[in-house]
Every structure is written in structure tokens, then in C-alpha cells.
């Protein structure tokens, strides 16, 4: 699988293993953004002049492409700036009341914890499902806690453990209990074949910037019948059908939830990125990442490397690790000196790190342009770090 020439930043000679934070962008995505600015700049849904019509068409066309990647309908896609915004919107739209219970897990990224914490001020209870020693959700506990819940909010894939959660099953459990299912798909849509129809989640959010698209693009997939009576979390231009001095008639979904001028160029780039990934095939992306994971775990050998999360087949292409007793930031800094980019810290998953009883971890996260040779370089650099720090 050689897509390296499509990614201009690789030409500076770095090993980029920070894809779970944000991915690199292929030239086609960069070109699409430049083309919008150069040839089509205008606002969308607001003008009848030619440029505005072109911009609107490009924006709407991007929804077709994104919908096709995830087997959704373009009209179910609310464009948001990232998964965080999508998850916050979901928490708002669900209109939770005093006494309602939200069940989530200890492995969540803060973006799928804090929107629910905010609801505590309304008297909403937030409960957590734990993980087993392999970093998998405790499904019996989840089933138990789902009783009487109003929302089950889980990540599809953990940004630290890599664990792929059974979101189809979780949604089924939610629905059997009369609850809604909210899925944080920020770490799955860029790496796995995600089929919205199969998962059947009520709300599912993901970011563009982790899936080869521009920052500030992303989508919240909603079920129209659930949200057609919701007021917009962000009201403004574009969200209304009509306004008088005494009232408002909201626009239909999804426009109702896309207040203000959206990230037009980012969204166009998101469509191009979705098309690029679909052309490659998400199954191939997955196979490539499994190969990289398998190579990574074979290289550990005698290195005192602690890793977290389940066996390869149940994880996405990332590995959080600690090298001996060296602090994760020192490891990342040392690797940076060898032109290898990894993330270190708690990865916006503080409760998970508390649960794992570690202060921090370094994380190598892969995408289609990474190679087994790059992993070999990582391991040589880790051996060197071990010598330098001991």
C-alpha cells in the first residue's frame, strides 16, 4: 500500500505517528481547499449569484461523499467543527431532565465525558462502565447499568487503548432499555468501515481532521425523527425558515443545526477526503493497520515496554506505551529529536489513566502512509532512549 506520494508533508523526512491527534492531508484535499478559495469563494445557501450556487453545490456534494463512506443519508449529516461539538450538540438535543441517567465508560475521551458532566447541574446522573485487564468494556456491567438509563454514550474506538467497542450491540442494549445511543466515532471513522445503518446509533459524531480532512470539519449523524422538534444548540443565520418580531419557524434538519456560515472549504475538503478513503477502501486501510500493529508488537522483544489495550484484532492502529520508568514526555521528546512524532501525556483521557494507574503514556498512532520500516526506526530510537536515560 503506497500512498506516501500523496502526502506532501512526508517529503520533509519525518515519521508521523500522531494520527490519532490529527492526520496528514493528501494533496487532493489541499487542492480542493485551494480551489474553493481560488475559484469559488462565496457563502452558501444565501445567494443566487453564480459563485454562491457553485459553493452551495460543492458543500452539498461533500455531504453525498461523506454519507457514501459511512452508509448514511446526506440529509442526516449535520456538519460540525469536530466530534467534540457533535457530542455537545447531542447532549443538548436530548434535553435531559432531573433524575435522568447517562451511562458512559471510564475509557472515554473527555469530549464524551464533559458534555454529560455539564448535565449534572440539571440533576442528571452520570454513571461509568469499567474495563477489564485487557482494556475491554465490562459488558455485563454495561447491561446492568443500562437499566433505567436515558442515554448510553460510548466511543466506538478508544484513543488510548485502541479498543474497538461493540457499538452495534451497545445500541441494541440501549434501545431494549428505551434509551438513546450516542457514539463517539472520532477514532473509528478514519480507520474502520463504519456502517451507520448497521450501528443504528441515534447520534454519532466524528471529526474530519483525523480522517485526512481539514481541521474544523466534521459531522454529527442524527435520526431526523428524533431531532425534528429540537431547537438548535446554536441559533443564527441559516437555522430558520422564517423569523418575525414575535417568533421563529426553524429550518428543516440538518440546516437547523448548522448556525452561521459553516466551514465551507473544510467541508468540501472533508468530502474529498471521504472519497479518497472510499477509493482506497476502508477494508484495505484496516488490513494495513493490522499489519503495522502486528509488526509493532513483534518488535517489542526484550524492551521493557508496557502497552495497554486488547489483542491486535480488537484494536485500531494505535498503541499507547511506557518505556521502563522513563516519563512519557521524555520519551516523546527523545523521539522528536529523531524526527519521530508521537503524542505523550494523558491524551484527554484522564479518568482512563487514573484507572490504568499510570501518570501518562506515549502513543504511536498509524494511518495509511505509515510503514513497517518506520516502526523499525521507532524501535531503534526507543532502544537508544533506554540507554540514554538509564
Q: Write out the residues near ligand ALA by the rule CB under 6 A.
A: 20-21, 109, 159, 343, 347-348
By beta-carbon proximity to ligand ALA, the closer residue of 234 and 341 is 341
By beta-carbon proximity to ligand ALA, the closer residue of 62 and 84 is 84
CB of 159 to ligand ALA, least distance (A): 4
Candidates 129, 166, 122; CA nearest to 147 is: 129
SS3 labels along the chain: CCCHHHCHHHHHCCEECECCCCCCCCHHHHHHHHHHHHHHCCCCCCCCCHHHHHHHHHHHHHHHHHHHHHCCCHHHEEECCCHHHHHHHHHHHCCCCCCCEEEEECCCCHHHCHHHHHHHHHCCEEEEECECCCCCECHHHHHHHHCCCCEEEEECECCCCCEECCHHHHHHHHHHCCCEEEEECCCCCCCCCCCHHHHCCCEEEEECCCCCCCCCCEEEEECHHHHCCCCCCCCCCCCEEEECCCCEEECCCCHHHCCCCCCHHHHHHHHHHHHHHHHHCHHHHHHHHHHHHHHHHHHCCCCCEEECCCCHHHECCEEEEEECCCCHHHHHHHHHHCCEECEEECCCCHHHHHHHCCCCEEEEECCCCCCHHHHHHHHHHHHHHHHHHC
Question: What is the distance between the alpha carbons of residues 227 and 230, in angstroms, rounded to a whole number?
Answer: 5
By beta-carbon proximity to ligand ALA, the closer residue of 67 and 167 is 167
By beta-carbon proximity to ligand ALA, the closer residue of 181 and 316 is 316
By beta-carbon proximity to ligand ALA, the closer residue of 58 and 189 is 189
CB of 348 to ligand ALA, least distance (A): 5
Catalytic position from the list 30, 139, 248, 348: 348
355 a catalytic residue: no
CB of 187 to ligand ALA, least distance (A): 7
Specify whether the CB–CB gap between 260 and 237 falls below 8 A: yes
CB of 110 to ligand ALA, least distance (A): 9
CB of 125 to ligand ALA, least distance (A): 26
By beta-carbon proximity to ligand ALA, the closer residue of 159 and 217 is 159
CB of 347 to ligand ALA, least distance (A): 5
- Give catalytic residues, as residue numbers: 348
Amino acid at each position: 500500500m503506497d500512498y506516501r506520494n500523496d502526502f506532501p508533508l512526508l517529503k520533509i523526512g519525518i515519521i508521523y505517528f500522531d494520527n490519532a491527534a490529527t492526520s496528514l492531508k493528501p494533496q487532493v484535499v489541499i487542492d480542493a481547499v485551494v480551489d474553493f478559495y481560488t475559484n469559488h469563494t462565496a457563502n452558501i445557501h444565501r445567494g443566487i449569484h453564480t459563485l454562491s450556487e457553485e459553493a452551495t453545490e460543492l458543500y452539498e456534494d461533500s455531504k453525498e461523499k461523506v454519507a457514501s463512506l459511512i452508509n448514511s443519508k446526506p440529509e442526516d449529516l449535520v456538519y460540525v467543527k469536530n466530534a467534540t461539538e457533535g457530542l455537545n450538540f447531542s447532549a443538548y438535543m436530548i434535553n435531559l431532565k432531573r433524575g435522568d441517567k447517562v451511562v458512559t465508560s471510564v475509557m472515554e475521551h473527555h469530549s464524551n465525558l464533559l458534555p454529560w458532566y455539564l448535565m449534572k447541574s440539571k440533576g442528571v446522573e452520570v454513571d461509568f462502565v469499567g474495563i477489564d485487564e485487557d482494556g475491554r468494556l465490562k459488558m455485563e456491567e454495561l447491561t446492568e447499568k443500562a437499566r433505567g438509563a436515558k442515554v448510553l454514550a460510548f466511543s466506538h474506538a478508544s484513543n488510548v487503548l485502541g479498543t474497538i467497542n461493540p457499538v452495534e450491540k451497545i445500541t441494541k442494549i440501549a434501545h431494549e432499555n428505551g434509551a438513546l445511543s450516542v457514539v463517539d466515532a472520532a477514532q473509528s471513522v478514519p480507520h474502520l468501515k463504519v456502517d451507520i445503518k448497521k450501528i443504528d446509533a441515534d447520534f454519532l459524531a466524528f471529526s474530519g481532521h483525523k480522517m485526512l480532512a481539514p481541521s474544523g470539519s466534521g459531522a454529527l449523524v442524527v435520526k431526523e425523527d428524533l431531532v425534528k422538534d429540537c431547537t438548535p444548540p446554536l441559533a443564527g443565520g441559516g437555522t430558520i425558515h422564517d423569523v418575525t418580531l414575535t417568533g421563529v419557524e426553524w429550518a428543516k434538519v440538518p440546516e437547523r443545526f448548522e448556525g452561521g456560515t459553516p466551514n465551507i472549504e473544510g467541508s468540501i475538503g472533508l468530502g474529498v477526503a471521504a472519497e479518497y478513503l472510499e477509493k482506497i477502501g476502508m477494508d484495505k486501510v484496516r488490513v494495513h493497520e493490522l499489519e503495522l500493529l502486528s509488526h509493532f508488537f513483534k518488535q517489542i522483544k526484550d524492551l521493557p515496554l508496557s502497552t495497554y489495550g486488547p489483542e491486535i484484532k480488537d484494536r485500531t492502529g494505535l498503541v499507547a506505551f511506557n518505556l521502563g520508568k522513563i516519563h512519557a514526555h521524555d520519551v516523546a521528546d527523545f523521539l522528536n529529536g529523531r524526527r519521530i512524532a508521537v503524542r505523550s501525556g494523558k491524551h484527554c483521557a484522564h479518568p482512563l489513566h487514573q484507572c490504568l494507574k499510570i501518570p501518562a503514556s506515549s502513543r504511536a498512532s498509524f494511518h495509511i502512509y505509515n510503514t513497517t520500516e518506520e516502526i523499525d526506526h521507532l524501535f531503534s530510537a526507543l532502544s537508544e532512549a533506554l540507554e540514554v536515560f538509564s
